[in-house]
């Protein structure tokens, strides 16, 4: 059994008070294994994005615990959380979120330079070559296509060798060809570099690139699938959707 890179225990996240209370997460316990590519799926409103935000130290939790490695997040103050994000976590966002004034290379190196660390040139080259951006390094974001920008964002997430990379719908704003590039890059990073990646998606094809799919519905983990294919994921999703609708009394 591979060791656990991140873990949530009885995680709840509640918005609002009294009658208006909404349970985005209603007790989620999940282990993310090292060197695995995990997808989190679920219908809209299932809480998959909230789960990712909480596990990635971007949002605080109502009750329960989140561990990154051995570190329990709720015990950390803002400064420590900032350091944790900087050193242990990489992010890929749906809308690429690059700094427009910086070149591709500067964007990739941004987390390291904010931390005041020197990049490992061998690793940097390897990452750049893997994402295939060697000839675009001097360009600014507005001189690149959406797929290229997202690959820069992926490279940025990997370059500081984080313990875990969180990707939030990384292909949501891309055409299918560019999306496939990004997904196979993330796949390669897991396979070749042993990187741990968690990806939130609603796209069964995207999920088929992963090792393991965790299904969420109404703030709870409802199912899990290993070695998924697009078909098997779609099948489970359809079933899940039907069950959710039934369960809600329609």
Q: By the criterion CB under 8 A, which residues form the site for another protein? A: 53, 58-59, 78-79, 82-83, 85-87, 91, 93, 95, 97-102, 106, 110-111, 113-116, 156
Residue number with CB closer to another protein (22 or 115): 115
Residue number with CB closer to another protein (87 or 120): 87
Please give the structure tokens belonging to residue 235.
Answer: 């099948």
Q: Of 125, 178, 173, nearest to 151 (Cα)?
A: 178
Q: What angle do CA 137, 155, 4 make, to 5 degrees?
A: 170
Number of residues that this document lists for the chain: 250
**Distance (Å, whole) CA 13 – CA 27:** 8
Residue number with CB closer to another protein (91 or 209): 91
Please give the structure tokens belonging to residue 132.
Answer: 């295939």
- Distance of closest approach, residue 59 Cβ to another protein, in angstroms: 6
For the chain, the distance separating the N- and C-terminal CA atoms, rounded to the nearest angstrom, is 41
Residue number with CB closer to another protein (89 or 240): 89
- Distance of closest approach, residue 94 Cβ to another protein, in angstroms: 9
- Distance of closest approach, residue 111 Cβ to another protein, in angstroms: 4
Give Cα 196 to chain centroid, integer Å: 10
- Distance of closest approach, residue 95 Cβ to another protein, in angstroms: 7
| Maximal C-alpha separation, the chain | 58
- Distance of closest approach, residue 116 Cβ to another protein, in angstroms: 6
3-state secondary structure of 203: coil
Residue number with CB closer to another protein (31 or 106): 106
Residue number with CB closer to another protein (99 or 239): 99
- Residue 21 dihedral angles phi and psi, to the nearest 5°: -65, 135
The answer to whether 159 and 127 have CB atoms below 8 angstroms apart is: yes
3-state secondary structure of 164: strand
């Amino acid at each position: 059994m591979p060791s656990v890179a991140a873990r949530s225990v009885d995680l709840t996240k509640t918005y609002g008070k009294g009658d208006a209370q909404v349970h985005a997460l209603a007790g989620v316990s999940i282990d993310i294994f090292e060197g695995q590519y995990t997808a989190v799926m679920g219908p809209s409103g299932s809480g998959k994005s909230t789960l990712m935000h909480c596990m990635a130290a971007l949002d605080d939790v109502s009750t329960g615990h989140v561990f990154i490695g051995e570190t329990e997040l709720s015990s950390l103050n803002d400064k420590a959380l900032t350091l944790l994000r900087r050193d242990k976590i990489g992010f890929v966002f749906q809308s690429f979120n690059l700094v427009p004034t910086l070149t591709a290379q500067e964007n990739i190196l941004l987390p390291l330079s904010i931390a005041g660390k020197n990049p490992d040139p061998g690793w940097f080259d390897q990452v750049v070559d893997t994402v295939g951006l060697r000839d675009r390094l001097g360009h600014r974001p507005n001189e690149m296509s959406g797929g290229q920008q997202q690959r820069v964002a992926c490279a940025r997430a990997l370059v500081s060798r984080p313990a875990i990379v969180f990707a939030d719908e990384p292909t949501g704003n891309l055409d299918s060809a560019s999306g496939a590039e990004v997904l196979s890059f993330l796949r390669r990073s897991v396979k070749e570099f042993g990187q741990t990646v968690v990806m939130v998606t609603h796209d069964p094809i995207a999920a088929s690139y992963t090792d393991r799919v965790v299904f969420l519905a109404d703030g709870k983990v409802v199912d899990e699938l290993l070695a998924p294919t697009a078909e098997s994921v779609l099948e489970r999703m359809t079933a899940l959707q039907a069950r959710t609708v039934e369960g809600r009394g329609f």
